Structure 1
């Protein structure tokens, strides 16, 4: 299910609800159903007040904070992105661009579990590498063990697939899914410095901040990817991060536009 994100230019009842929430929390705007510059600025003020990522767009986390008068401590915060940018040696706008374009949206499902996508072909590979009879497992559990990609169900059902896979081998199951906002594959756990697959999963379950930590480690572990991010070589970054199909979704163009937009916003926020 696609996450609703309200931004400049949006109209309708969803914007009316957002504007009413802003007013209830003290961020005064005219309730007219038009997501104009005034509404965007009020959203940015609310995000800054709650410690959320300041981007002027109202997604699930911003709406949750407005409805509840505060942010969920598991949500990604502006301070997390600032720390990540400093650690990687890149502009904050670059990290914000990646966060906006390359993430799956919220890092957690409504159930409170981290988002994941289970890859049955990876499960086959990991089982074989662990010395297990992957072919036999594929015959018994074709939806979670296969030489072919697919079987995706999305959302909460992915957890059912994962839990089925844990009955075969818990560590291989963790390694065979991409986890959290940044879709980091579990089999990277050792290269990223985690003590075990189980520790990696525990961190993914903790917070979006920890999901960002896994992303930062992933970038640090790939000098070419880090160089592309530092140089804002968006096509190279998108190719290495998303694979050769990045052009189909125009990830490089989206990253460049998001970077320019966030850079402009940061300059505008600096007093003359």
Structure 2
């Protein structure tokens, strides 16, 4: 299993919110008077050596539960609760035994101090306890979400060995089985899971022969309805030239954008190993989903909802304070289109519109949140067009280029009286400005402008050779 830790509860103590953020004029003694809690107790709950040293903006915990609470939640590979899982907690010399609740939760435990050790065990089918977590309480209510890397749980048909449980919890980096595969989700088979009817299950054999439950992803029908619009057909030279004439630019500029954004490959692949329809290539962006949903899913689903976007694979394992657990895990990196689809599915079950807007779609990787700029006020119709053909995607690109608001000024030419729009840049082959609009202010770090220019030159050379 994979763990993610988050801070934060909203308990009330006296007239102040708990936790409480120190404001100008606050002292520890004034906070103690307002809450009815002694200064010594506040010091212990917050690890304060000097009661005279608190700073504006500092977070203080005003109750023992807020200071030393520890909560656990168990989720399956699709982030749905795992209920009725036997567990054992060892905290401060006491043992708590029970089963997870309907939301996969374990009752919050309040430790005696920040240094208190907390150990969590789960029971396999042979009544053997397997340790999953060993941590310290720390300061602040700690939420530990345990996400199953694969559905491997006790069943009524076959016993699950202790070895199977160990395989499940062995590495922190394990992610949902479907996300590590290089191909799209397989058509589900088996009976609906008691945990979640959207997930079907059947028994099978896993590594080293241990019995497992195999999961299948049941795609939401409303999402499948979008995929039914596929008509296919590659973009022809005439198509490229037609849109280029509309935009008053060279077709090779548009081809270069496609090359850098999607590798110039087909913008569609087959769903369900050839058994289903075609789906457009996409990349899911969790920081968009977090912003569009007001961050309400950040704590429980940081892999698909977090204020900071995904990192590059080369950063895997590195410390990063902007990540939910302080380091870059598998769930924090950009991955394949197949992984992006699993992320989209998980987000879609939480908020369909926000999920669709949080993807960059098709050959030109246009964010769903920009559907209005593409000349399509309806998000539903935008996605339908993205699912139709590459030609339809090219038409949406034209609208995006024409309507993208100007927001770039040349830092080397401050005398320039107006901002340069994306359309201006496309006409003039201004690679830096195009790169800025497509890749943000970090475009130079990613050498995005150079990639665009090289792609343009390659297409220009190839197209001229065809005409010769």
TM range (shorter): 0.5 to 0.7
Aligned residue in 2 for 1:202: 384
* TM-score, normalising length: structure 1: 0.64
* 2:257 and 2:364 in contact (8 A); partners too: no
What secondary structure does 2:299 align onto?
Answer: helix
2:251 equivalent in structure 1: 92
The equivalent of 2:434 in structure 1 is 237
Cα distance change of structure 1 residues 177 and 262 upon mapping to structure 2, 3 Å threshold: closer
What 5-or-longer segments of structure 2 have no aligned partner? 1-180, 183-230, 272-277, 311-330, 407-420
The answer for the alignment partner of 1:101 in structure 2 is 260
- Following superposition of structure 1 onto structure 2, how do residues 25-44 of structure 1 map, counting pairs within 5 Å? none
Tell me, in whole angstroms, the C-alpha distance in 2 between the residues paired with 1:138 and 1:261. 43
Do structure 1's residue 79 and structure 2's residue 79 form an aligned pair? no
Q: Secondary structure at the match of 2:360?
A: strand
CA contact (8 A) 1:123 1:173 kept: yes
- Distance, in Å, in 2 between the alignment partners of 1:158 and 1:270 is 39
Aligned match for 1:149, one of 309, 328, 331: 309
Distance 2:335 2:268 in 1: 16
Q: Quick check: which has more Rg, 1 or 2? A: 2
1:159 aligns with 2:336: no
Distance 1:169 1:231 in 2: 40
Structure ranking higher in helix proportion: 1
The whole-number CA distance in structure 2 between the counterparts of 1:267 and 1:186 is 35
SS of alignment partner, residue 74 of structure 1? coil
Q: Give the corresponding residue for 1:5.
A: none
Greater strand share, 1 or 2? 2
Structure with the bigger RCO (C-alpha within 8 Å, sep 6+) is 1
Q: Does 1:139 align with 2:139?
A: no
Name the TM-score, length of structure 2 as normaliser: 0.39
1:243 CA drift (Å): 1.6
2:241–2:251 contact (8 Å) kept in structure 1: yes
How far apart are 1:78 and its partner, in Å? Answer: 2.3
Partner Cα separation in structure 2 for residue 186 and residue 170 of structure 1: 12
Partner of 1:31: none
Rounded to whole Å, the distance in 2 between the matches of 1:163 and 1:269 is 43
Unaligned runs of 5+ residues in structure 1 are 3-71, 129-133
Q: Shift of the alpha carbon at 1:161? A: 1.3
Rounded Cα–Cα distance in structure 1 between residues aligned with 2:456 and 2:349:
43
Is 1:110 the counterpart of 2:267? The answer is: no
Whole-Å Cα distance in 2 between the matches of residues 87 and 165 of structure 1? Answer: 36
List, as ranges, runs of 4+ consecutive aligned residues in structure 1 with deviation greater than 6 Å. Answer: none
Pick closer, same or farther for the CA change 1:265–1:240 going to 2, 3 Å: same
- Cα deviations across residues 141-161 of structure 1 (Å, max 9, x unaligned)? 232222232234422121121
